[in-house]
Each structure stands twice: as C-alpha cells, then as structure tokens.
C-alpha cells in the first residue's frame, strides 16, 4: 500500500533535500537502468510508487530517469516535485554530456536536466577510446572537453554532479591512460563522484578490485561502482570496489536491469550493514527490506524471486530433516544471519508462509490489538496459509489482509452489502464494435437491488454496476476510482485453466488501497477483489453498514 | 531433450570410468545438494536423465545422492550402473563418516556407500567444534577418529575419497586449529581432496580467499570449495577459492540448492574457461551450455531463469535503440563475450526505443530477408511505434512481431481463419457456482463455422471454442496448449477504463511462442492474442491456409 506522503506542494524540497550522511552513497537506479530489464514497462504512477518505497527504505539517491529524453521521464520529475516529500533520498536526473562541438549552456538535452529541478545530475560519458571514436564519432580530446564543459555548467547551475564512466573497465584495459584522463577531467571540473561502470558486465571481483585501487591512487578522485551481473558476480564486484576504496555504490531493487541485470541493492546493503558493520541505511530500515523488495516486485508486475538472497521466501527455508531438529537447539548454527534483521523469517515447512510473529507485527502496524489472544492469531495464520495455497497473496494486498484480520478479531465480515449473483456479457456487434454489459443483484440491509451497467470491458461494467447500486446508500463511493489492475496466472503448466490472481488498487482521492482476489478465471477473481475494494473503502471512511 | 546414451549394460564402467584430467575438478552435486531446493522433487528417471546431461556437458564428477539413506538414491546408483555409459564423468556416492564409537567396516551406512559401486565417495564430516558437540554429540577427538577410520576403510575398498568439511568457514572462525585438524585428519588418512564448505552461505569472497590460502599453506592438503549463495556471492566465492589455490569446485546446474541455492555450475565453468583461460570441460562442451541448462530446468520442472548469466534468454538481449545502431558496427563493444561460445545468441528487443537498426537485426534473427528495402523497414518501425503507443509490446511477443513483419514483407496477413463475431458470458448460478460460455462465429475459406464452448473462465471458453472449430480444418491445433497468460493494465490513472495488455504463451509440445493483444478490456485483448497464437502456431507448422 502506498501513502501519499504530502499533499502540500513541495517545490523547494528537491533542491534543499533531506540530509544524508555523505561519506558513503547508496545510489539506486531502479527507475532508470533497472527499467531496461526485459519485460518491465513502468508508468509514471509506477515510478512514483517505487520512488516512495525506495525513499522509505532509505537509499541516499534515487535516479528517476532521463528528463527530456522521453515524455514519461519528464512527467515523472514534474510530478515527483509536486507529489513526494522525500525523507531520506535525493532525486537524481540522468543525462549525457553535451553534443560534440557545441556548448553545454545551449544544449537542449543539458537544459532539460536543469529544468527537471533535480538537485543532483548523473552524467554519462564515454571512457573507452573506441566507443568515443565509433559510437560518439568525435575525438578523444573533444570528449574530455564535453565532460569538463557539461560538469562545469551544471555546477554553475547549483547542481551536484556525478559522472558515470560508461564501459570503464573495458576502456581501462584498452587504454588505461585515457580512461584515467576521463576520471580526472570530471573530477577537476567539479564532479563529486566519478563512477566506474562495468557496462558489459564481464568483470570478476579480483579485476574490479585491482583497477579501482589503481585509479583511486592515480587520480585521487572520489570513486563509485556500477556493476552489471553478466558473470553472476555483480554483488561481489560491488563489494570488491568498496574494498578497494569506492564510497558510492549504484544498484537496483531486486537486481533489475538490462540483460542479466544490475547489482542487486538488497544483498549489497545487507552485506555492508551486516557483514561490514557499516551503517548505510537509516536506523530500522533493513528490517523492512523483505517487504519493500516484494512490494516493488508487485509494482513492476514480476513475481518476487523466491530464491533471492536475504529476501526470498526460500532464503531461510529449511528442508532437510537433519537440520530441522538441530535448528531447535541453536538456530544460529544453521543460518548466516538472524532473518528478522532483514524482515524475513525461518520457514521449516513448505506451506508455512505466514508465521505468528508476522501476523502479530502486521496487527500492530494496522493498529489492531491482538492482545494475548493466541487463538485469534492461530486462526489468522491458518486462514492466510490456506488462502495463499489457493493463490491469494497478502504481501501486496494490505486492504484484503486487514479485512481478513478484522473479520477474525471483530467476529464476522463488514456487511455493507451482500451479493446475490452477477452476470457479465462481452460480445462483438454487427458493426464490429464491442458491447460489454453486467448485471449485479445484491442486498443492502433488507433491500434488494438489481443494477445493469455497461462498460468498456466486463470488469469495468461490473465495477460500474456495483458503484451505481451502492451510491444511493453510501454516497462516498462516488469518489472511489480503480487506479491499477494486475493479473497473474499461477501454476504455469495449465494456462487459462490455472488459478488467476488479481490485484486491484483503488483510490478515494486521499489514499490508495490494494485488494486481492483469486479464482479459476479473471472475471471471478476481479469480482472478488472489487468487493473487497468497496468494503475496505467504506471501512476506511468510517462508514456504518446500513441495516 | 534427452539422449539415452547407452542401452548396453555397463557393469564395470563405474569403477574403470573414463579418464578425466585430474588437475582440476568440476564436481557437480545437482542430484544430491541441488535436489534440496524447495520445489524440486526428482524421480529416479529424472536423476538418470540429468546425469546424462551433466556427463554430456563434461563435468568430471556427478554426485548422485546418498545410497542407503533412501530407496530412491539406492535405486539410482543401481540403475546408473546398468543404464549409463559415462563419457566424461565419474559417479560419486555421498555419505557420512561412521557413527561415534563404532567401526567403519561394520557401519551399515558406510557399507551402503561401498555397495553402491560408485568409484568415488564424498564423505561429509563436521569441522565446527560446536556442531560436533551439539549436533553429533561426541568429542572433538572421536570426530577426528571417525574421519580417519572411515576414509581409511573406503580407501582399502579401492574407492577414491573426497571429504566435505561441513560448516568449515564458521568453524574456522570459532576454532581455526580444530578446523585445520579435521583437514589434516582426512588428508593423512588418504582423502584426495578436502572440500571447505560454506554450508550457511554467509561468506564473502575476500574472507573465502584468505581462509583457503591459510589452510592450504598450513595443511598442504588438496582443497576444494563448496559455496552456498546466501549472500549472492556463491560464484565469486568459488572463484575466490580457486584464486587462493583450490583445485576442485562443487556446483549445481542452474544454482539449484537449499535456501537461496548453491554456486551455479554454468557461470563458474564459463568464468574458468573464458575469463581464466583454463580448460575444464571437453572441447566444444561450453557451446552446449545454454541448451543443457534449459534441458535440466525442464526435467526438474522449473521455468528456466530468463535472467541467468550466460544462458538466460535475456542474457544477450539489447533494448536501447542507441545501442542497436552501434552493435551493427561492432558487437564486441556491447557484449562481454561472443554469446555463441556458450550456445546463446544476441536478441534485439523490439520496443518504442528501437529504431531501424534493431528491426533489421531482428529480421536477420528470424531469417526474414528485408534486403535493402528501406521502405518496408520504415513501415515496420512506424507500425511498431504506433501500436506500442496503443499498449502493445513486442519485446516479449516475438510471435506477434514476426506476424507483423511478415505481413509487411509478404503483403497481407496469413488468412487461416476470419472472425465474424464472438460472445462470452460469465454468470453465477443459483447454487453459487459459476458458468462461463462462449460462442464464436468465423470463416475458414468459404465455410462459416459457429461453435459454442464452456470453460472455467471466459478466455478459456473462447480458446476452447476456437480450438474446437479449427480442429476440423487444421488437426495440428489439437496440440496447442496455452501455458502462460499475463495481463497488465496501462496508464495507471484510469483503472479498468484504461488499456489492457495481454501476453499469451502457447506450446505445441516442441516449442513455445508468445503473442500480444491490447484493447480496452481483458477479454478483447485476450481474444486478439489468442488469434495471433493460433495463426503463428499454424505458420510455424508450415500449414497452408484452407481456401
């Protein structure tokens, strides 16, 4: 669930920004480089939601995209300035150095970076001599001048500048002097950090460590690392660079990124905090890691990786009977960290998806007092397990979970309405157009209501019918609007014959909530999630059920 | 695809075994430790098939399981001796040192290892003092005696012995002298290799490297490494141990294993061969890696990871139009290795970021000659952009893209069938159950067909109706099965009223293809993707449209 942190305009917040400890940077590029992952296609609303999650997690920098390069990224920066108050992160705009032969001050792409209002700009520059000549088609000297000019100009505009050296490690191998000249040019012109990028992802940790150490010694520049995972070593490469003196790490949530992906933010910060003993996140943030990882996966509509280090549901799952008995004696003998440190938990059985502790914590979080009633908690655990087996998920559907929890604690469901039956028809008409209609029969107290409605699809028609019928009794539903709708089919080997899960996010203009439905088909699952959406919205508004 | 390498009995092949270069061991434990992964449940037939794949890939050792511990593993060893002629690998049985206070020669568990007929035995032993005391409940000295006795006995039986030091790195931290005493006991008693296991998976490469180097210097034993991936560093940890002098690496195919998993065999051997220049596989085997990785995933019934290093379908996929033009100039600038070396290939993702260059490369990839016809390419780019604006995506829907491309190149669509109209109804019945029905009217050549069908959802009902109607004309559609179905709503601020995108993956038993549909509602979009799925499947089969 997302909370709209600020309705007040926050025009100046981006340039003032929150204070972060500047000695070590956790820099997230999920919204820019992560979005290059095959299968990810983010809307502006998705990007805003992910930015809120990342800020809550406590990264120092959120690279939001390339303003000016496409309308979506431009809109993201405009809306982020209005709609988000960042508590931990500074927003970063990504862009390129000016064109060859021009002036930074007159370059429209560079101007768009300034106009984005972002307090920090990451510039990408070529540092591999062949790329300068073949891809950029300019001279090695002009490339250095482009860097100096663009960095200086942005500094004059009051922006902090980081410089990404694209293809740095391959470039260093081909021409180490030129690669270092790029680092010096950026640093001398005022770039705060120069990031060495393993753009093709072919490096191994020992190589990264040696190059970073040499470049640091030879240039004295503050260095960062940007690792891709093509050898399966992006996390280790990032840590190797830190070992060699880098103080800025670029990562993406869940390792999303082009080809194999980028260095995964979560194991990198977990290693820094738990293995290096280095505080890189705000107090308490690490314990939210599992939840935030899964929430971001839901937004990008990819199943969370069950086997992701630290945060996967299998990450602390023990299968071997041998271990299970020994774990009871001393769990620390069989796990490398206490899973609670990263918001995860031990699982001894495959079906054990929700433990008592997490239910109790969730109750606290929602302000529902579960007291010492072990029986209620046990019943909730049982119901969650049973329903998750049938395809529901409560990790992203906080509203449906709260309804389930209140149902057990308060005894019985909220009875705003009772459905009798529904029907939806989709057909093509003679003129080639489509018609979608729905009829819903339901009760409010003692009154029976029959409503028919049309829509541009069966779910929309069902939604319209329910809304129209409820409005007479509960006028506030007029404000409800369905803002996101996601469907996933579970159990790959059956296609449409398998279980379908639907997540619906609804707003009433002041907040958003997400509900879940699951069933053999998309319409039934949607219908279930819709009913929860209306019930939760009414509950949230403090409405009393009509008798 | 599996090949039954040998139907002739090969009773003696296990003890004679093929010759492998013994200076460096690639040791696979997919069938033993990999099988601990949550969700994997292997039959004996599965294990035999995987063993054949691994032998073909050229690993030196295949750890097949724990004979005597369960009937399945006992049967595996018996059948492997009869049914497989190994060309590269030696079969390894896994087991434990004898019980405390007994004799190896009289220990039934140790006897079962000998009776398995495996030429090589891996023994697991405790090397962490607390584990000896708490889990094994014996003395530190007796644990050393158990190791000496069991190793010596198995050597006397003519077997080669490797010894896995469980929890070695945690044990070394707690009591380095005892951990080293375990290594010495095994080595002195005749174990060829002593494997240092990071059983809890909490180590980072620098730690691994330091400990392996010290243990090697202090004991002189031949060392191996067994890394778990709990920090996301198992591949790097394995390579760090090799850097420090380990000459035996234990891995699993696709990184399967308990919790997060084990060191992934494929990136480990690829790094050794391609980055270290070390020959660890038979000539030509590396080029089979992608195929073998996917084949093993099929056997264990897990979808191959699309983002796995080297072998994932996304591992060499390029999205940005910026890159596509440069890739034509020099592909080596944009990839860390030639994908052909590991049996993979470049894929150009077609998206609104794509320009002419990526369309041309995509045409090449599909074997469609676009020649020098700049107009056709321009029309395709235009159509892709226009349709992506309306919600289509061609990045994941290769089949729909190929249909679009052929349409422009060959002039007009494939006319297997023409839809006249369709209707789908979803309703709740009086008894609370649901009914889903669909009616489709369409033409094949001059013939008009009307089919009605039921399904467990409207999309399933439409699919059934179309399949039933087409089967008379095109019998091969009977093999088509919808295996994945994904829905995404675009433009967050409109909810069900916004554009819906559906991706459908279909199989005919020999291959899979993905098609896309987009429209104002989920049924229309699904219906469009279904039509493309049938058309592409028929095209793929080389079927001629009926007139």
The pLDDT tens digits for A163-204 are 999 999 999 999 999 999 999 999 999 999 999 999 999 999
| Total number of residues shown for chain B | 547
User: Which chain A residues are closer than 8 Å to B349 by Cβ?
Assistant: 38
Spatial CB neighbours of A377, under 8 Å, sequence gap ≥ 6:
A356, A359, A360, A363, A370
Q: Whose CA is closest to A513, among A528, A538, A530, A533?
A: A533
A201 touches chain B (CB under 8 A): yes
Cα(A490)–Cα(A486) distance, rounded to whole angstroms?
Answer: 13
Cα(A234)–Cα(A204) distance, rounded to whole angstroms?
Answer: 8
Cα A24 to chain centroid, rounded: 22
A429 touches chain B (CB under 8 A): yes
pLDDT score, position B339: 94
Q: Which two tokens stand for residue B246?
A: 């380990």
Q: Exposed, middle or buried by CB within 10 Å (0-12, 13-18, 19+), for B113?
A: buried
User: Which chain B residues are closer than 8 Å to A200 by Cβ?
Assistant: 334-336
Best probe of the B interface among A126, A232, A334, by most B CBs < 10 A, is A232
pLDDT digits (tens, 9 = 90+) for A407-425: 888 877 778 999 999 999 8
Cα(A93)–Cα(A123) distance, rounded to whole angstroms?
Answer: 9
Residue whose structure tokens are 């990045």: B395
Contact yes or no for A457 and B202 at CB 8 A: no
Rounded to 5 degrees, φ, ψ at A455 are -165, 175
User: Which chain B residues are closer than 8 Å to A240 by Cβ?
Assistant: 205-206
Contact yes or no for A206 and B243 at CB 8 A: yes
Cα(B31)–Cα(B94) distance, rounded to whole angstroms?
Answer: 10
pLDDT digits (tens, 9 = 90+) for A47-69: 999 999 999 999 999 999 999 88
| Concatenated DSSP letters of A172-210 | HHH-HHHHHHHHHHHHHHT-SEEEEEETT----HHHHHH
Residue A433 in this model has a pLDDT that exceeds 60: yes
Cα(B542)–Cα(B544) distance, rounded to whole angstroms?
Answer: 7
**DSSP-derived secondary structure letter, A364:** H
Residue whose structure tokens are 């890691």: A289
Closest CA of chain A from B13, distance in Å = 32
Contact yes or no for B38 and A319 at CB 8 A: yes
Angle, vertex CA B306, rays to CA B305 and CA B309, nearest 5: 80
Spatial CB neighbours of A197, under 8 Å, sequence gap ≥ 6:
A164, A165, A166, A167, A168, A169, A226, A250
Q: Which two tokens stand for residue B16?
A: 């004679």
Quick check: A355 and A394 in contact, CB under 8 A?
no
pLDDT score, position B11: 38
> What count of Cα atoms within 13 Å lies in the side-chain half-sphere of residue A29?
28
Candidate from B270, B482, B490 with C-beta closest to A495 = B482
**DSSP-derived secondary structure letter, A70:** B
pLDDT digits (tens, 9 = 90+) for A22-48: 999 999 999 999 998 987 888 888 899
Residue whose structure tokens are 């000896």: B132
Cα(A473)–Cα(A476) distance, rounded to whole angstroms?
Answer: 9
pLDDT score, position A501: 84
Cα(B331)–Cα(B326) distance, rounded to whole angstroms?
Answer: 7
B302 touches chain A (CB under 8 A): no
A264 touches chain B (CB under 8 A): yes
Quick check: A58 and A285 in contact, CB under 8 A?
yes
pLDDT score, position B236: 98
Q: Residue A356's pLDDT band (boundaries 50, 70, 90)?
A: low
Cα(A463)–Cα(B434) distance, rounded to whole angstroms?
Answer: 18
**DSSP-derived secondary structure letter, B509:** S
Q: Which two tokens stand for residue B482?
A: 């919808």
The structure's pTM equals: 0.73
φ/ψ region of A391 (left if φ > 0, alpha if ψ in -120 to 50, else beta) reads: left
Angle formed by the axes of helices B398-410 and B356-366, to 10°? Answer: 100
Gap between the terminal Cα atoms of chain A: 31
pLDDT digits (tens, 9 = 90+) for A443-469: 999 999 999 999 888 888 999 999 999
Residue A351 in this model has a pLDDT that exceeds 90: no
Q: Exposed, middle or buried by CB within 10 Å (0-12, 13-18, 19+), for B520?
A: buried
Determine the residue of chain B that is closest to A459 in CA distance. B496
Candidate from B271, B481, B489 with C-beta closest to A485 = B489
**Widest CA span in chain A:** 83
Contacts of A170-176 with CB under 8 Å at 24 or more apart are A170/A128, A170/A199, A170/A200, A170/A202, A170/B333, A171/A126, A171/A127, A171/A128, A171/A129, A171/A130, A171/A131, A172/A127, A172/A211, A172/A215, A174/A128, A174/A129, A174/A130, A175/A128, A175/A129
pLDDT score, position B355: 63
pLDDT score, position B136: 84
Closest CA of chain B from A448, distance in Å = 16
Contact yes or no for B421 and A428 at CB 8 A: yes
Determine the residue of chain A that is closest to B237 in CA distance. A236
CA distances for A370 relative to A357, A376, A380, A388, A405, angstroms: 11, 7, 11, 21, 9
**DSSP-derived secondary structure letter, A244:** T
Contact yes or no for B239 and A233 at CB 8 A: yes
Cα(B424)–Cα(A272) distance, rounded to whole angstroms?
Answer: 55
pLDDT score, position B408: 85
**For the CA atoms of chain B, what is the radius of gyration?**
29
Q: Which two tokens stand for residue A257?
A: 């990124």
CA A70, A75, A81, A85 torsion: positive or negative? negative
> What count of Cα atoms within 13 Å lies in the side-chain half-sphere of residue A195?
25
Q: Which two tokens stand for residue A465?
A: 């019918």
Strands A500-507 and A120-126: unpaired
Q: Which residues pair with B120 in a beta bridge?
A: B92, B160
Q: Whose CA is closest to A341, among A279, A251, A264, A273?
A: A273
B174 touches chain A (CB under 8 A): no
pLDDT score, position A490: 65
Mean pLDDT score across all residues of chain B: 87
B261 SS3 class: coil
A328 touches chain B (CB under 8 A): no
pLDDT score, position A361: 63
Q: Exposed, middle or buried by CB within 10 Å (0-12, 13-18, 19+), for A359?
A: buried
Determine the residue of chain B that is closest to A302 in CA distance. B486
Q: Whose CA is closest to A233, among B268, B294, B333, B297?
A: B268
What chain A holds in terms of domains, given with CATH numbers, is 21-282 (3.20.20.70), 417-473 (3.30.160)
CA distances for A58 relative to A13, A28, A185, A307, angstroms: 16, 10, 31, 24
Cα(B75)–Cα(B356) distance, rounded to whole angstroms?
Answer: 57
Angle formed by the axes of helices B205-219 and B234-243, to 10°? Answer: 30
Q: Which two tokens stand for residue A171?
A: 């470039």
Rounded to 5 degrees, φ, ψ at A519 are 180, 180
Quick check: A502 and A485 in contact, CB under 8 A?
yes
User: Which chain B residues are closer than 8 Å to A320 by Cβ?
Assistant: 36, 258
Q: Whose CA is closest to B125, among B42, B175, B182?
A: B182
B326 SS3 class: helix
B230 touches chain A (CB under 8 A): yes
Residue A72 in this model has a pLDDT that exceeds 80: yes
Mean pLDDT score across all residues of chain A: 87
Residue A15 in this model has a pLDDT that exceeds 70: no
pLDDT score, position A328: 59
Cα(B485)–Cα(B507) distance, rounded to whole angstroms?
Answer: 12
Cα(A346)–Cα(B431) distance, rounded to whole angstroms?
Answer: 42
Q: Exposed, middle or buried by CB within 10 Å (0-12, 13-18, 19+), for B375?
A: exposed
pLDDT score, position B196: 98
B window 67-126, beta carbon within 8 A of A: none
pLDDT digits (tens, 9 = 90+) for B355-389: 666 777 778 777 887 766 778 888 888 888 778 77
pLDDT score, position A154: 98
Cα(A129)–Cα(A135) distance, rounded to whole angstroms?
Answer: 10
Neighbour tally for B4: CB within 10 Å: 10
Closest CA of chain B from A538, distance in Å = 19
The percentage of chain A sitting over the pLDDT mark of 70, rounded to a whole number, equals 88
Rounded to 5 degrees, φ, ψ at B121 are -120, 130
Residue A134 in this model has a pLDDT that exceeds 70: yes
Strands B120-126 and B160-166: parallel
Q: Which residues pair with B122 in a beta bridge?
A: B94, B162
Quick check: B326 and B360 in contact, CB under 8 A?
no
Residue whose structure tokens are 């899979």: B512
Q: Residue A8's pLDDT band (boundaries 50, 70, 90)?
A: very low
Q: What is the pLDDT along chain B (547 residues), one digit of tens a residue?
A: 333 333 333 333 334 444 447 999 999 999 999 998 876 778 788 899 899 999 999 999 999 999 988 788 999 999 999 999 999 999 999 999 999 999 999 999 999 999 999 999 999 999 999 999 888 889 999 999 999 999 999 999 999 999 999 999 999 999 999 999 999 999 999 999 999 999 999 999 999 999 999 999 999 999 999 999 999 999 999 999 999 999 999 999 999 999 999 999 999 999 999 999 999 999 999 999 999 998 888 778 677 788 999 999 899 988 755 556 667 677 788 899 999 999 998 877 765 455 666 777 778 777 887 766 778 888 888 888 778 777 787 766 889 988 998 888 887 777 899 999 999 988 887 777 778 899 999 999 999 999 999 988 888 899 999 999 999 999 999 999 887 787 877 654 334 446 788 888 898 888 788 899 998 888 889 999 999 999 999 999 889 888 7
Q: Which two tokens stand for residue A321?
A: 């009977």
B268-306 residues labelled b (16+ CB within 10 A) or e (exposed): bbbbbbbbeeeebbbeebbebbbbbbbbbbebbeeebbe
**For the CA atoms of chain A, what is the radius of gyration?**
26
């Amino acid at each position: 669930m997302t909370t709209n942190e600020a309705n007040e305009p926050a025009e100046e917040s981006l340039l003032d920004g929150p204070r972060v400890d500047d000695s070590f940077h956790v820099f997230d590029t999920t919204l820019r480089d992560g979005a290059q992952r095959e299968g990810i296609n983010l809307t502006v609303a998705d990007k805003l939601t992910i930015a809120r999650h990342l800020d809550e997690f406590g990264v120092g920098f959120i690279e939001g995209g390339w303003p000016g390069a496409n309308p979506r990224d431009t809109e993201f920066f405009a809306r982020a300035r209005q709609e988000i108050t960042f508590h931990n992160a500074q927003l970063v705009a990504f862009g390129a150095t000016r064109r060859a032969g021009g002036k930074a001050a007159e370059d429209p792409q560079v101007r768009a970076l300034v106009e984005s209002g972002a307090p920090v700009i990451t510039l990408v520059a070529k540092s591999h001599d062949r790329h300068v000549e073949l891809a950029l088609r300019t001279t090695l000297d002009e490339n250095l001048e482009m860097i100096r000019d663009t960095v200086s100009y942005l500094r004059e505009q009051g922006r902090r500048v980081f410089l990404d050296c694209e293809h740095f490690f391959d470039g260093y191998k081909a021409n180490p002097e030129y690669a270092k000249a790029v680092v010096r040019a950026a640093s001398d012109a005022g770039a705060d950090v120069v990031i060495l990028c393993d753009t093709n992802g072919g490096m191994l940790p020992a190589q990264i460590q040696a190059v970073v150490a040499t470049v640091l010694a030879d240039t004295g520049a503050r260095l960062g690392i940007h690792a891709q995972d093509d050898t399966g070593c992006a996390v280790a490469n990032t840590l190797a660079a830190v070992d060699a003196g880098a103080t800025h790490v670029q990562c993406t949530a869940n390792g999303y990124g082009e080809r194999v992906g980028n260095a995964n933010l979560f194991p990198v910060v977990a290693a820094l905090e738990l293995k290096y003993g280095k505080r890189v996140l705000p107090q308490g943030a690490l314990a939210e890691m599992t939840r935030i990882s899964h929430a971001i996966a839901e937004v990008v509509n990819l199943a969370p990786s069950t086997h992701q280090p630290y945060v996967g549901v299998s990450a602390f799952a023990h299968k071997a009977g041998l271990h299970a008995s020994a774990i009871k004696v001393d769990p620390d003998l069989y796990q490398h960290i206490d899973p609670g440190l990263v918001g995860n938990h031990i699982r001894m059985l495959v079906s054990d998806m929700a433990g008592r502790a997490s239910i109790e914590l969730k109750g606290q979080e929602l302000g529902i007092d579960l007291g010492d009633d072990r029986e209620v908690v046990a019943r909730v655990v049982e119901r969650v397990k049973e329903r998750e087996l049938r395809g529901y998920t409560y990790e992203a559907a906080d509203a449906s979970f709260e309804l389930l929890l209140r149902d057990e604690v308060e005894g019985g469901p909220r009875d705003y309405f009772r459905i009798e039956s529904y029907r939806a028809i989709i057909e093509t008409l003679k003129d080639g157009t489509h018609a979608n209609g729905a009829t819903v029969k339901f009760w409010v107290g003692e009154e029976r209501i029959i409503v028919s409605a049309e829509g541009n699809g069966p779910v929309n028609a069902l939604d319209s019918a329910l809304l129209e019928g409820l409005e007479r009794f509960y006028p506030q539903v007029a404000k409800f609007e369905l803002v996101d709708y996601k469907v996933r089919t579970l159990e790959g080997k059956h296609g449409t014959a398998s279980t379908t899960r639907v997540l619906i996010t609804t707003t009433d203009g002041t907040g958003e909530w997400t509900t879940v439905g699951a069933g053999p088909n998309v319409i039934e699952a949607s219908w279930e999630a819709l009913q929860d959406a209306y019930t939760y919205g009414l509950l949230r508004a403090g409405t009393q059920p009509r008798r």
